[in-house]
Amino acid sequence: MANPGRLLICFIVLLALSANTVPVQADPGKDLFDKQCASCHTIGGGDGGGPDLKGLVAKRKHEWLESVIIEPNKLSANKDPIQLELVKKYGYEMPNLGIGHEDALKIITYISQADSAASTTAGQPVTEQMATVVTPELLIQGKALFTGSRQMAKGGAPCISCHPFTYPGINGGNLSVADLKNSYQKMGDTGMKGALKALKFPTMKKIYADRPLADDEINALMALFKDSAAQKSASSTFSLPLAGGSLFALLLLGLALYKRRIR
């Protein structure tokens, strides 16, 4: 006859094992946010390719939130002042991602819940992404990927086929109006990296649908854009004293000529 004590122990062990194997339900709102929104937006982590969404649900009307997720282009067409201000600040309109009404509601619910959770940890430091480090090796790789002399791993088109870009040894394309040097300066490391990961803008979405950039390709292009922006800043800083010096020299020359005439 089986020992009752052993049977009890086996029963407890089975209960513990079954408890550990209960499937955890996925949050559909979080899954949608991670897939469609997280490359450009954070909830309490600061601005990126788009605005930080912390406090957004409490601040905006529900109808506006649905509209900006489902059809942001219609808000622009209707001259919505909030949308126009965002476009002015970030330099581009949020792309239409093809999100339906039900999925938009799930995303809004998740943002609201995540916002509440973030509020309970207020004051704790936000984890920041590592800033892009520019190295000669990364610049060589970035130039090769940008110009197409090195093919993207997944076969995506090189940036030069569309984007204008001023950099030594590179003359960009003219299909797009978005100069990637200016884009980097507006969006910064976090925003630009998110945009390269997502590639959700209308034309890019089609071209790169099944050809996402690899992490090492993104890092190389980021180094190129960062170096280009740094060169532009240095050039602007240098041009100011140069212009001032030229003006001063012209004033001295004019004064000397004037003195000669009155002698």
**Would you say 53 and 115 are in contact if contact means Cβ atoms under 8 Å apart?**
yes
Contacts of residue 177, Cβ cutoff 8 Å, sequence gap at least 6? 164
- Whether residue 18 lies inside any domain: the answer is no
Residues of the chain with pLDDT under 70: 1-26, 118-130, 173-178, 202, 232-263
Q: pLDDT tens for residues 237-253?
A: 444 444 444 444 444 55
- Whether residue 126 lies inside any domain: the answer is no
Q: How far apart are CA 263 and CA 259, in angstroms?
A: 6
Same domain for 165 and 73?
no
Contacts of residue 40, Cβ cutoff 8 Å, sequence gap at least 6? 48, 49, 50, 94, 191, 194, 195, 198
Number of domains present in the structure of the chain: 2
- Whether residue 247 lies inside any domain: the answer is no
Q: How far apart are CA 262 and CA 246, in angstroms?
A: 25
pTM (two decimals): 0.58
SS3 179: coil
Same domain for 113 and 56?
yes
Same domain for 61 and 87?
yes
State the DSSP code for 166: E
- Whether residue 212 lies inside any domain: the answer is yes
- CATH code of the domain in which 61 resides: 1.10.760.10
Same domain for 116 and 42?
yes
Q: Which domain holds residue 179?
A: 136-237
Same domain for 165 and 213?
yes
User: How confident is the model at residue 232, as a pLDDT?
Assistant: 62
**Would you say 226 and 189 are in contact if contact means Cβ atoms under 8 Å apart?**
yes
User: How confident is the model at residue 66, as a pLDDT?
Assistant: 95
User: How confident is the model at residue 23, as a pLDDT?
Assistant: 46
Same domain for 167 and 114?
no
- Whether residue 157 lies inside any domain: the answer is yes
- Whether residue 242 lies inside any domain: the answer is no
- Whether residue 256 lies inside any domain: the answer is no
Same domain for 154 and 109?
no
Same domain for 152 and 182?
yes
User: How confident is the model at residue 85, as a pLDDT?
Assistant: 92
Domain final residue pick, 88, 120, 152 = 120
- Whether residue 125 lies inside any domain: the answer is no
User: How confident is the model at residue 79, as a pLDDT?
Assistant: 94
User: How confident is the model at residue 162, as a pLDDT?
Assistant: 84
User: How confident is the model at residue 250, as a pLDDT?
Assistant: 47
User: How confident is the model at residue 124, as a pLDDT?
Assistant: 46
Same domain for 94 and 164?
no
Q: pLDDT tens for residues 41-84?
A: 888 888 877 888 999 999 999 999 999 999 999 999 999 999 99
